[in-house]
DNA sequence: ATACAACTTGAAGTTAACTTTAACTCAAGC
DNA sequence: GCTTGAGTTAAAGTTAACTTCAAGTTGTAT
């Protein structure tokens, strides 16, 4: 199966310029340039983009994602390094999730407070205090 | 209670330059400048920084955090807008958490795979395939 | 009185991850 | 043969959130 830049663009909700950019920085490799006219991608690019999106969600910067793919090319030599990177990233992701949860809790507390403000204004009753939660 | 820029810096693990920057963009307000010589912060700044850190963790950009504080100054007028912002942000945070979880799952799958690679290399046995997971 | 450390300022510089621009090429349809 | 539209390039521009810099000020210790 082969894909045009526009097909991949739609498939991954990434602008074509971003796909060209990823190729430029070496994150996508071996993209066929037909007649120096247009790019043709294959399944390997779809697979790689799936991982890239996945790592991006886990907040891994692009240069580390790239380093990861570089190490993977010689995994029998680099598996320890790879495991190390993956585990570090796992911990970071877990940390980030905890922070997000704490942030979410505060957001929801504020939402409860302003729901009370809403009611108070509508009933012409006194404004709630932060301690009423 | 009053605080120097260095005390706040340590308290929130933010460099002093960042505290000055927050003041410059209007995120921290009414900071006392004694004899145009040094800043003095008070409890209200500690409170606000707590919220700022909290919103930052929820991935709210600084200009929206600022807009939020601006609306809060007149909450009887703006409570609907505030509730709206908060709920939008709540949904975004939940989305981000889902993405992070999906990313984490993929990370952990890779970790399992490379643990198998590790064993295989140490036992001189054939490398695992991605489907062995 | 002078040196020094701590703090100040506005402005310029940094980083990551794109995005936009301008000028160009190619294949297909009229 | 000419236009159109999709694709190409290298290079410059953008954005957020800082960070660094150079030059100046202030209070305290010697």
Q: Is A52 helix (H, G, I), strand (E, B) or coil?
A: helix
How far apart, in whole angstroms, are the C-alpha atoms of residue A108 and residue B122?
A: 50
Residues 6+ apart with CB under 8 A from B40: B2, B3, B4, B31, B32, B33, B34
Low-confidence ranges of chain B (pLDDT < 50): none
How far apart, in whole angstroms, are the C-alpha atoms of residue A3 and residue A11?
A: 10
Is pLDDT above 80 for A23? Answer: yes
How far apart, in whole angstroms, are the C-alpha atoms of residue B4 and residue B27?
A: 17
How far apart, in whole angstroms, are the C-alpha atoms of residue B11 and residue A113?
A: 27
Q: Give the number of A-B residue pairs with CB atoms closer than 8 Å.
A: 112
**Mean pLDDT computed over A102-127:** 92
CB contact under 8 A, B104 and A94: yes
Residues of B in contact with A55 (CB under 8 A): 103, 106-107
Of A104, A109, A102, A105, give the one whose Cα is nearest residue A131. A109
Mean pLDDT of chain A: 92
Residues 6+ apart with CB under 8 A from B58: A100, A103, A104, A106, A107, B89, B92, B93
Half-sphere exposure of B7 (CA within 13 A, CB side): 12
CB of B28 closer than 8 Å to CB of B50: no
Q: Which of A74, A90, A104, A105 to mutate to test the interface with B (most CBs of B within 10 A)?
A: A104
How far apart, in whole angstroms, are the C-alpha atoms of residue A30 and residue A24?
A: 11
pLDDT of residue B55: 85
Give the distance from residue A101's alpha carbon to the nearest chain B alpha carbon, in angstroms: 8
Place A58 in a pLDDT band, splitting at 50, 70 and 90. Answer: confident
pLDDT of residue A71: 95
pLDDT of residue A115: 96
Interface of A with B (CB under 8 A): 51, 54-59, 75-76, 79-80, 82-83, 86-87, 89-90, 93-94, 96-97, 99-104, 106-108, 110-111, 114-115, 117-118, 121, 127
How would you write A90-132 as a 3-class SS string?
A: HHHHHHHHHHHHHHHHHHHHHHHHHHHHHHHHHCCCCCCCHHH
Please write the tens of the pLDDT for every residue from A1-11: 899 999 999 99
pLDDT of residue B92: 87
B75 token code pair = 């909450």
What chain B residue is nearest to A115 in terms of C-alpha separation? B83
Please write the tens of the pLDDT for every residue from A61-83: 999 999 999 999 999 999 999 99
Is pLDDT above 90 for A102? Answer: no
Distance, Å, A37 CA → C27 C1': 10
How far apart, in whole angstroms, are the C-alpha atoms of residue B84 and residue A82?
A: 43
How far apart, in whole angstroms, are the C-alpha atoms of residue A87 and residue A91?
A: 6
The set of strand D positions with any atom below 7 Å of a protein CB reads 6-10, 16-21, 25-27
pLDDT of residue A66: 95
The pTM score is: 0.82
**Mean pLDDT computed over A99-124:** 92
pLDDT of residue B57: 82
Is pLDDT above 80 for A36? Answer: no
- Picking from A90, A99, A118, the nearest residue to B104 by CB comes out as A90
pLDDT of residue A32: 95
Percent of chain A with pLDDT over 70: 100
């Amino acid at each position: 199966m082969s894909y045009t830049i526009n097909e991949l663009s739609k498939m991954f909700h990434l602008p074509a310029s971003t796909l060209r950019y990823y190729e430029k920085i070496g994150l996508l490799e071996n993209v066929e340039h037909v007649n120096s006219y247009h790019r043709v991608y294959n399944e390997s690019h779809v697979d790689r983009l799936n991982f890239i999106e996945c790592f991006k969600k886990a907040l891994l910067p692009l240069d580390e994602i790239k380093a990861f793919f570089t190490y993977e090319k010689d995994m029998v030599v680099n598996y320890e390094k790879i495991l190390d990177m993956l585990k570090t990233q796992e911990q970071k992701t877990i940390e980030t999730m905890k922070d997000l949860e704490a942030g979410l809790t505060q957001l929801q507390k504020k939402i409860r407070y302003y729901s009370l403000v809403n009611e108070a204004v509508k009933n012409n009753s006194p404004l709630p205090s932060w301690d009423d939660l």
